[in-house]
Structure 1
Amino acid sequence: MTARGDTGDGGASAGDLRIAVTGAGGRMGREVIEAATAREGVTVAVAVNRTATDPVAGVEVADAARLAELLDETDPDVLVDFTGPASAVAYAETAADAGVAVVIGTTGFDSDGTAQLRALSERVPLLKASSFARGLAALRRAVREAVAAVPGYDVEVTETHHNGKRDAPSGTAKTLLDDVESVRGDLDRRVHGREGDAPREPGEVGVHARRAGDVTAEHEVLLAGNHETLSLTNRAGDRGVFAEGALDAAVWLSGRAPGRYDFDDVLGGGSAPPTRDEGTDR
């Protein structure tokens, strides 16, 4: 099931990073495979999907029920998952059983799912991020600095995604809220939208989710006070941004010690506060 980094005899190059991709028939699974086939030094060793799926970018897609045996047969370095909360946990557990590192870009984990992933990270390196966009990582740092620089300003977070996105607000919006609250201890209440008689109260952060068309992802943090406003925005124009970032994460994660990692670690930030594991935009 290899896709890239072929040697003259059709095998993968010895130095290639070998990845397994779950949810290969989904939007992001396909994007990850396509990005991997276009990247030197990366080989798709395994691609699986729960329903029958045609080959993606020349990579055959197997039944997800065979994941355990396929991991054993192909011995990939990292599994990349963009599926759903329950399946992501199950796939991560299968990967951990095989000693395979895990990159997760999945949405909407509850507290049980988060705890399960944390436990698995004690066995293998596991990286979960709310966004794999480098620009978004830069936005997070800028937001923390800006919020600290203007104490007392009101803060509102707005996110926009395509009309098929299920969770609201987005995982990235929740991560941005974590960033805001890590700097501003006085902001401790998230207000989701406003209706009727709803003036701002002390301690509030406004949160707004919009779903329209085929918008990939847009996040804005608005700070207002002292007769001025500051707006910090990131827009992702294509899902390939997230796929490329996930591959960057996979390359970085391979060979690491077991533990829980974030995309900010990949970019060398090291200053991001812990997040609430709320998922990733896709």
Structure 2
Amino acid sequence: MSRDGAADDGVRVAITGATGQMGRAVLDAANGREDVTVAFAVARSAASGDRERDRDGKSGVRPASELDRLLAERDPEALVDFTGPESSVEYVATAAEAGVASVVGTTGFDDEGERALRESAERAPVLKASNFGRGIQALLSAVESAVADLPGYDVEVTETHHERKRDAPSGTAKTILESIEDARAENTTERVHGREGEAPRDPGEIGVHARRAGTITGEHEVLLAGNHEEIRLTHRAEDRGVFAEGALDAAVWLAGREPGWYDFADVVEGDR
């Protein structure tokens, strides 16, 4: 048995958006791990051929409309969601109603969506992160330290993703920006998204730039410049499997915990 009472074949995980790029990555990663068992996978675009992919029917992709029934029948311990803001809120609420923990990698939520997720966290544990790369946690720590140590330096944040990514700036870039603002406190004025025309830098502003091109998985860079020197802190994800593995690490860690709001930093710090 595991720490939280899970069977030896691993924490039972449900996967939403399983026909999407990240959903497929999570499904593939889960099938290769000994500490995780796929209870079921669903997608709104599931086709009949997908449903019969696995002979036992447990890992084949089922229609998302069956989520309620599958939660009751398959009894997963955690749900992993990389879909869209509206569907994510719906899936997490359904999982919380069933007492199932949720790991959310979806980004682009508005204030209402964020509130809805936090309401679900009152009924079941919810862990939401803009990035499940362990390297990003190290980057955030380094950025916070550098920004605090260099209060007078200019700061620019640039993120680059594939051409199909919808939200800009990325959720990870927003998390980085929040860390910078926390470290700078009163010395930061505003975020400036790109520049055009006559646009000299104002003291304390943070430049934000989003680039979309090709099939780039994800790159984030923080530039600090001043005193005739510059520091560049960069994280590059070379494969979506990085995020899939991190999300599954989070699912294993979250299963069996008390209702509440959790972050991926809790997982990384718990492994130290």
| 1:17 corresponds to | 11
Q: Structure 1 residues 57 and 137, CA, compared in 2 at 3 Å: closer, same or farther?
A: farther
CA distance in 1, matches of 2:133, 2:70: 30
| 1:60 corresponds to | 60
| 1:145 corresponds to | 145
CA distance in 1, matches of 2:202, 2:35: 53
Alignment counterpart, residue 35 of structure 1, candidates 29, 54, 77: 29
Task: Give 1:51 deviation, angstroms.
Answer: 1.8
Task: Give 1:56 deviation, angstroms.
Answer: 9.5
CA distance in 2, matches of 1:269, 1:44: 24
Task: Give 1:203 deviation, angstroms.
Answer: 2.4
| 1:268 corresponds to | 269
Cα distance per residue 1:99-156 (max 9 Å; x no partner): 0000000021000000011111111110000100011111000000111111110000
Task: Give 1:15 deviation, angstroms.
Answer: 4.6
Preserved contact between residue 34 and residue 57 of structure 1 (Cα < 8 Å): no
What one-letter code is carried by the residue in structure 1 that aligns with 2:91? Y
Preserved contact between residue 147 and residue 183 of structure 1 (Cα < 8 Å): yes
1:171 and 2:171 are equivalent in the alignment: yes
Preserved contact between residue 85 and residue 113 of structure 1 (Cα < 8 Å): yes
Q: For structure 2, which runs of at least 5 residues remain unmatched after alignment?
A: 1-5
TM-score when normalising by structure 2 = 0.92
What one-letter code is carried by the residue in structure 2 that aligns with 1:258? P
| 1:4 corresponds to | none
CA distance in 2, matches of 1:240, 1:16: 19
Task: Give 1:70 deviation, angstroms.
Answer: 0.5
* Aligned sequence identity (%): 64
CA distance in 1, matches of 2:37, 2:116: 28
| 1:101 corresponds to | 101
What one-letter code is carried by the residue in structure 1 that aligns with 2:81? D
Give the aligned length.
259
Cα distance per residue 1:176-201 (max 9 Å; x no partner): 00000000021130000000100001
| 1:73 corresponds to | 73
CA distance in 1, matches of 2:75, 2:82: 20
Cα distance per residue 1:63-110 (max 9 Å; x no partner): 100100110001100000000000000000110111000000002100
Task: Give 1:255 deviation, angstroms.
Answer: 1.1
Alignment counterpart, residue 26 of structure 1, candidates 20, 42, 47: 20
CA distance in 2, matches of 1:96, 1:269: 24
What one-letter code is carried by the residue in structure 2 that aligns with 1:42? V
CA distance in 2, matches of 1:56, 1:30: 16
CA distance in 2, matches of 1:56, 1:26: 18
* SS at 1:267 equivalent: helix
| 1:160 corresponds to | 160
* SS at 1:235 equivalent: strand
CA distance in 2, matches of 1:99, 1:56: 28
Task: Give 1:41 deviation, angstroms.
Answer: 2.1
* Structure with greater helix share of residues: 2
TM-score when normalising by structure 1 = 0.89
